[in-house]
């Protein structure tokens, strides 16, 4: 049974005439008749009674017509949606900070146009799932160098050292002056942790007293205490204080990443462009990011 055979059957049911139906498809009467016979063979029974050269829908044909019509209409609807690019299923992963502070409402808006499955993981897990073709794209704040991962940079992302102790607010220190104090960092595999530790001098050893895999939990643990951590600037809240570090700017790329061999069709690129533009627009309104 083919789509074309079903179309021939439905048209014949509608027009009730082989000659007229054949003309609709610009084929011969014999070609249409053969198509119907092949359909009947595939369904193991006649759909029409042949009476005086006329084809009259029989009981089996009526049952088939009732069952196949909604299925065919659904298939045509899918075809039209696909042709108009209104269907696009995407599995998206975002690093924790990007997912929680930038993407949650953006994804909700884009989901009106695209069918999106969205989840939050750390950078290490996102890269692994991309390499294993388990997701379509990721949004991360990390500098990735892997020949199998393609990257579209959104913008620069700045990390800042923060504390809950107001006495350190807006003061400048060398990183080694703060190393002896208690630090709370994200877990191994976090892009924030990886970027920060890779950019401080190799001879500086931080006193990491606690590792927490949630940025929000880290922020709450810092409030009012002489603990230090590092956060993306867009994730700061008013009850934490930025500490300026002399001679070091902790910068990285905020990027959309995907497998290097992924098919870059027009639909995918359209989504990437809309996602990138939405993130940039939100970052340019920093007051809206403060909890």
Say which residue, 86 or 197, is predicted with more confidence. 197
Which pLDDT does position 280 carry in this prediction? 92
Stretch 5-24: mean pLDDT: 92
pLDDT at 290 over 50: no
DSSP string, 159-181: EEEEES-GGGTT-EE-HHHHTTS
- What is the distance of C-alpha 39 from the center of its chain? 41
pLDDT band at 85 (very low <50, low <70, confident <90, very high): low
Domain boundaries, the chain: 3-84, 90-140+258-284, 156-251
Q: Which CATH number fits domain 156-251: 3.40.190.290, 3.40.640.10, 3.40.50.720, 1.10.10.10?
A: 3.40.190.290
**CB-based contact 211:187 (threshold 8 Å):** yes
CATH topology of domain 3-84: Arc Repressor Mutant, subunit A (1.10.10)
> For the whole prediction, is pTM greater than 0.75?
no
pLDDT at residue 87 in the model: 63
Q: Which residue has the higher pLDDT, 79 or 39?
A: 39
Percentage of the chain beyond pLDDT 70 is 97
Q: What is the mean pLDDT of the chain?
A: 90
CA distances from 80 to 84, 114, 208, 236 (A): 6, 15, 57, 46
Query: Given a cut of 60, is residue 286 above it in pLDDT?
Result: no
Write the pLDDT tens digit of every residue in 123-173. 899 999 999 999 999 999 877 888 999 999 999 889 999 999 999 998 999
Dihedrals phi, psi of 22, to nearest 5 degrees: -60, -40
pLDDT in tens, 199-250: 999 999 999 999 999 999 999 999 999 999 999 988 888 899 999 999 999 9
Listed in sequence order, the DSSP H helices in the chain are 3-15, 18-25, 29-42, 59-83, 96-98, 104-110, 123-131, 175-178, 191-199, 215-222, 266-283
Residue 62: CB atoms within 10 A of its CB come to 12
Q: How far apart are CA 82 and CA 86, in angstroms?
A: 6
pLDDT for the residue 264: 79
Choose among 133, 56, 96, 110: nearest CA to 219.
96
Look at residue 288 in the predicted model and tell me its pLDDT.
47
Q: Is the pLDDT of residue 84 over 70?
A: no
Q: Which residues contact 273 (CB under 8 A, 6 or more apart)?
A: none
Report the 10 Å Cβ neighbour count for 63.
Answer: 13
Contacts of 275 (CB under 8 A, 6+ apart): 106, 110, 139, 256
């Amino acid at each position: 049974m083919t789509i074309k055979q079903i179309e021939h059957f439905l048209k014949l049911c509608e027009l009730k005439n082989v000659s007229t139906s054949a003309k609709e498809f610009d084929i011969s009467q014999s070609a249409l008749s053969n198509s119907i016979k092949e359909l009947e063979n595939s369904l193991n029974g006649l759909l029409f009674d042949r009476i005086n050269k006329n084809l009259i829908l029989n009981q089996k044909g009526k049952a088939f017509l009732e069952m196949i019509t909604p299925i065919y209409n659904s298939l045509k609807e899918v075809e039209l949606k696909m042709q108009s690019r209104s269907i696009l299923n995407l599995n998206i992963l975002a690093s924790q900070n990007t997912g929680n502070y930038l993407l949650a409402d953006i994804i909700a808006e884009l989901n009106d146009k695209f069918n999106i499955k969205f989840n939050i993981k750390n950078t290490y897990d996102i890269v692994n799932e991309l390499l294993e073709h388990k997701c379509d794209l990721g949004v991360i704040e990390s500098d990735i160098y892997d020949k199998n991962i393609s990257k579209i940079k959104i913008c620069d992302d700045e990390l800042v050292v923060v504390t809950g102790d107001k006495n350190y607010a807006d003061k400048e220190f060398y990183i080694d002056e703060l190393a002896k104090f208690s630090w709370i960092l994200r877990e191994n595999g976090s892009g924030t942790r990886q970027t920060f530790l890779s950019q401080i001098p190799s001879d500086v050893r931080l006193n990491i007293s606690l590792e927490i895999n949630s940025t929000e939990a880290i922020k709450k643990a810092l409030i009012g205490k002489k603990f230090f951590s590092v956060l993306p600037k867009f994730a700061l809240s008013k009850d934490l204080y930025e500490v300026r570090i002399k001679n070091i700017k902790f910068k990285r790329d905020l990027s959309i990443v995907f497998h290097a061999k992924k098919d870059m069709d027009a639909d995918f690129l359209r989504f990437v462009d809309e996602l990138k533009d939405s993130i940039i627009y939100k970052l340019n309104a920093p007051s809206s990011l403060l909890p």
